[in-house]
Amino acid sequence: MLLWLAHLALAADPVERPEDTWDLSVLYPSLDAWEAEMKATEAAVDGVAGCKGQLSSRLRDCLDQRFGVHKTVMRLNVYASNASNADTRDAEWLSRSQRGEMLYARLDEVGAFFKPEIITLGGDVVEKAIASDKALAPYDYYLRSAVRDGAHILPAREEALLAGGAISRDATIRVRSQLVNAELPWPEVTLSDGTKARLSPANYTAHRGSPVRADRQLVFDQFFGALSEYGGTLAAAIDGAVQGHWYVAKARGYPTSVAAAIDTDHVPQAVYDTLVARTNANLPTLHRYLKLRAKMLGISDLAYSDLYPPLVSGSRTWSIDEAKQLTIDATRVLGAEYAAESEKGLRARWTDVYPREGKVSGAYMDGSAYDVHPFMLLNYTGDYEAVSTLAHEWGHAMHSVLSRKAQPYSKADYATFTAEIASTTNEALLLDHMLKTTKNEDDRLFYMGNALEGLRTTYFRQALFAEFELAMHTAVEQGQPLTKEWLDSKFLEITRRYYGHDAGVTKVPDSIGSEWSYIPHFYYNFYVYQYATSISAGSLFADDILAKKKGAVDRYLGLLSAGGSDDPVVLLQRAGVDMTSAAPYDAIASRMERIMDEIEGILTKKGKKKK
Ligand SMILES: [Zn+2]
């Protein structure tokens, strides 16, 4: 038995069954085996350097070598990082996990010549090579992508200068993180029941949905007030980050920061612009939801601080076995292969289920061990949120299962842009299944209220962030430095438009202007828009699948199986979803409208019964 398993067994909750923990020994039978492979792979990583200057004569051989080593490095990392995440207090596993990461970084560094050399070969040579050697087929997308990126890759010395500056450009997010997570003196508040709470970001999240209106108002005022006091520092930090994005974009010859950022996945600007335009066009749907929320909470003057209490509270819990069965049943519409793989994977030891002291928080799926299977980490509590999280992560896991089955290693890894489609489609299928199997009206209201809130936060809220992120970058590109005043007023303007402040839908107080400083994602260089595009595409797929549209399931499974074999927007197009069209964004608005129709129907019926 592995050392770490013995260690976990000591720390584990006594009711934890072996099947509720993952079995990492399928990756390496022992720690010695892992150490031996680490050693051999360190040498293999350095061996990749031997391909430098050789790609014109040994293209296939060198690609085989590079991707082969890459695959092993990932497997080594899956073993060490997951063992470490299961118990972050274990210094030895942390150190092994860091060694794995360093090996990955080393491979990146050693293999950095691949792209520039392929670009130097040029499109014609690459196309001739692909045409004349069938064994290059697994690499055709990689090769063509590199050639296409050529227009924005600089000569080696300039690339090195840019790369060398990254550590100082990244100081901006370290400053923010140090201030917000460690040094900012968060205010202490006394809640209506007499308990005191220090409003750190974690406690803000814990209390912002309080059922007591005065408490959540207090929490919002104090939390955003505290952030506002440090708004000058936080503005200087985000200004530095955005200036850095623009600096790199200009150096690489892009017209704008957004063009540079989304070109890493070859996403056309039209996707971003359509998302923002259609979301604005769909704001009446958000406003209808906010009015419904006010009605259900019994509030006549809805305020921004009333956004987080649940519409309907639910107390039901599910065992992990019940949750797995719900996921299997809810996704049965995806056909026999999906169901069989789900039965197999969910019943095998792929998942570490329960929260435990020292275990990382949250949930994730790790699909990086190509020859093995995905692993999932949950912190399962049994409430509906936890059931929904399982269905979400299982969507990711099946994406990996299907893409590994259909694609060679070099094409199996999929882009972030498509990743959240697999998970959000599963969430939509779960909701449909819960509604189909639940007659109790209060339970139905609970599931639908939960779904509406998920759609608000993953679609409208992220699209709002995407619009603000674009506005910040555009301002910098036009020579406008990002001051606290500019940031507060721009964030307030967009938030008031989204939440219908002027129309009397939601009162958004001035203090919300500083909410931009609470969002670390603004440092990630155009990341958040993908939450909104993914859930939109997922909505459209789920609608078509549930409506039993001809070919819908095959189109969807085709997308999952395609992995990273082409640009994400091209793969989606092939699966029948055009991300530059209104269709996906309008699908999510219609989904919300349908849920609200149903909720209002139940509320009307209930109102009549009372009379
Ligand atoms: Zn996810």
Instruction: List alpha helices for 31-153, DSSP H.
Output: 31-48, 55-86, 91-110, 114-132, 140-149
Asked if residue 9 has pLDDT above 50, the reply is no
Mean per-residue pLDDT, 510-525: 96
Please check the confidence at residue 1 and state whether its pLDDT lies above 80: no
Model pLDDT, residue 127: 98
**Residue 396 CA, ligand 1 centroid: distance in Å:** 7
Residue 166 has a pLDDT of 86
CA 338 to ligand 1 centroid distance, Å: 18
Q: Indicate whether 213 pLDDT > 50.
A: yes
Chain centroid to CA 278: 22
pLDDT tens for 535-580 read: 999 999 999 999 999 999 999 999 999 999 999 999 999 999 999 9
Residue 462 CA to ligand 1 centre (angstroms)? 14
Return residues with CB closer than 5 A to ligand 1 (ion).
Answer: 423
Task: Kindly give, in sequence order, each residue whose CB lies less than 8 Å from that of residue 48, ignoring residues fewer than 6 positions away.
Answer: 62, 65, 66, 69, 107, 110, 111
Q: Where are the alpha helices (DSSP H) in 415-567?
A: 416-436, 441-455, 461-477, 484-499, 529-546, 552-562
For position 361, what pLDDT does the model report?
A: 87
Choosing from 37, 117, 341, 393, which is the catalytic residue?
A: 393
| The predicted structure's pLDDT at residue 205 | 92
What is the per-residue pLDDT for 354?
A: 96
Per-residue pLDDT at 11 exceeds 70: no
DSSP label of 303: B
pLDDT tens digits, 153-169: 988 788 888 888 888 89
Cα of 58 from ligand 1 centre, angstroms: 39
Does residue 7 surpass a pLDDT of 60?
no
Confirm if 468 and 258 have CB atoms less than 8 A apart: no
Residue 313 confidence (pLDDT) above 50 = yes
Q: Give distance in angstroms: CA of 364 to centre of ligand 1.
A: 7
Cα-Cα-Cα-Cα dihedral sign, residues 208, 211, 217, 222: negative
pLDDT mean across residues, the chain: 94
Residue 393 annotated as catalytic: yes
The residue with greater pLDDT, 607 or 80, is: 80
Rg of the chain on CA atoms, in Å: 25
| pTM strictly above 0.95 | no
**560 CA distance to ligand 1 centroid (A)?**
14
Over the stretch 357-409, which tens digit does the pLDDT of each residue have? Answer: 999 989 999 999 999 999 999 999 999 999 999 999 999 999 999 999 999 99
Mean pLDDT, rounded, for 295-324: 95
| DSSP string of 12-31, one letter each residue | S-TT--GGGS--GGGT-SSH
Evaluate if residue 593 carries a pLDDT over 90: yes
Distance 528 CA to ligand 1 centre (A): 13
State the angle between helix axes of 416-436 and 529-546 in degrees (0 to 180), rounded to the nearest 10.
Answer: 40
Q: Mark out the alpha helices in 171-230 (DSSP H runs).
A: 171-178, 201-207, 213-229
Question: What pLDDT, on a 0 to 100 scale, did the predictor assign at position 15?
Answer: 67
pLDDT on residue 181 = 86
Write down the pLDDT at residue 611: 61
- Give yes or no for residue 60 having a pLDDT over 90: yes
Q: Which amino acid is at 447?
A: Y
Q: Is the pLDDT of residue 450 over 50?
A: yes
